[in-house]
Chain A
């Protein structure tokens, strides 16, 4: 068990900068999720921690020891790959035992550790099988088992569930959560799936184009997104974003459609400033006064309903309501944000305005 510190880490591929200076200190036993769209550099960062990718700038320390120039084998980490990366010519037992044999661990202890992991992961019946004789879910478990038996300082996961079907993915997600609670090993987990991130993480690092947009607990990231990017990436359906302007007294946001939304607290210094206004669909409610929309589409999800409305100026506005639909397409509806549901972002930089 150990801390993992990433200090101003950069990575360039020729002239292209894939990671542009990331800083984070991961606590002992913490589960950190790296979340971001495809190509944002999540795998690159994880692979730098693993030692599979050179570090262009900055420092990575595991358990207080700088590992920049250590081989993967000397970093005391274990990794679960997206395609599992099992050894195809070895049995399940040998797959799990491989790293232990190399480390010169006595046979009896290898047997004990593998049996224990196989028990936890319900792989006991498959120890003599080859990976090709297993289902996708079972292979995934073997990959997890291979990491567990090593008892490493940190686990690294690179989208470990993305090759599974939806049902299995949910099931394995719960299992990973249980394992983490049980083993308490520091973990870095890469995913582009916000549900995985929200449910597994102690903290989430939201990445975009090689920079950390925000680091925070799942609720912080949801409740106080640090940028428009985070606001749009977390939450489903995504947050509504409207152009607006703070009025001359700094007391409300004025919208092109003429609406005036009072600010929770006055911002005299920002008077007259153009802003982006964010409102989550689930924080809108039917009201007497507010946004008048014409309903274009109603999605009934069972437990709740997503309404796609069109504002008079042509913008789309999403509203999420509890329960089954009470409105129909082409209906007109007036909705307003709930108290404290406004997020203000700088119109130029996209950063959150506190």
Chain B
């Protein structure tokens, strides 16, 4: 059934759309256009004169071995965050789904981290992992483990991965749980009568039936790890030590805002834009073709 909303006034629909359009124009289209314009220009140090330089900024960025290092860090970071956030969320969702009593309290608790601002969450992690004041950090040192993410790049990366995953677990959990609850109980019961134990049931029934959810979350989490973890990294490590936790999005900020290289930073933004457009396109294509089990 299709419902049609009709308006008396011809103006009203446009009026209702206007705020959203304005927000999109001011905060997305205009900066994006700006970035594209700047990515093909070179500005002098005072930002007074600028010169059209074709793709020089891009060749410069892509030819920079530092940039490729950052790309590598980003890939490690994103894959780790995605796998960890999805794996943990799926495990928790399976546990919550099989548990009848107290499930709602459990669900509510698991959703909290999502509501937390990245900076606040980062402070929380600092209180855990800081080698001087963090409870876990101090415990590690007391056990003789040389824990200091401010000096050790690997440890720093591990910590931002944990912090970034933790925030995304809630979101994944909600979707996985909804996906699990959409699987009829009798289908699982039929499988157990057919002779499948819990592990086999999971891999041959649950997991395939969850695949549309899994794919959706895979793309969402990749986008999250690429683009939305700036706050977490900024608050925890500022991309350091060295460049150990510098991801592409962090580098855009670093080069553009801190180092004032607007052309290079804009070129990087444009590259990121292309990546996010590609990811979104993949997702839309898949969602369109998604198998509907009914």
Contacts and interface: CB of A to CB of B under 8 A. Distances in A.
B192 A71 contact: yes
A73 B192 contact: yes
A79 B190 contact: yes
Nearest to B293: A88
A79 B193 contact: yes
B185 to A, nearest CB: 9
Contacts of B228: none
A132 B193 contact: no
B84 interface: no
Interface in A86-124: 86-89, 98-99, 102-103
A270 to B, nearest CB: 50
B184 A99 contact: no
Contact of A83 (B184, B192, B200): B184
Contact of B193 (A77, A83, A87): A77
Nearest to B192: A72
A102 B194 contact: yes
B-side interface size class: 20 to 34
Given A102-B200, A132-B292, A132-B293, A86 B187 contact: yes
A229 interface: no
A78 interface: yes
B88 interface: no
Interface residues of A, number: 25
Interface string B28-39: 000000000000
Contacts of B189: 50, 52, 72, 79, 81, 85
A103 B292 CA distance: 30
Contact of A87 (B205, B292, B294): B205
B187 A73 contact: no
B194 A89 contact: no
B71 interface: no
A88 B187 contact: yes
Given A88-B293, A88-B294, A73 B184 contact: no
A89 B293 contact: yes
Contacts of A88: 187, 209, 293-294
Nearest to B197: A73
A99 B186 contact: no
B191 interface: yes
A73 B205 contact: no
Contact of A73 (B195, B204, B292): B195
Interface of A: 50-52, 71-73, 77-79, 81-83, 85-89, 98-99, 102-103, 130, 132, 146, 150
Given A81-B190, A86-B187, 11 more contacts: A50-B189, A71-B192, A72-B189, A73-B194, A77-B193, A81-B189, A88-B209, A99-B193, A99-B194, A99-B195, A102-B196
Cβ-closest 6 pairs across A and B: A99-B194, A88-B293, A85-B186, A85-B190, A73-B195, A102-B195
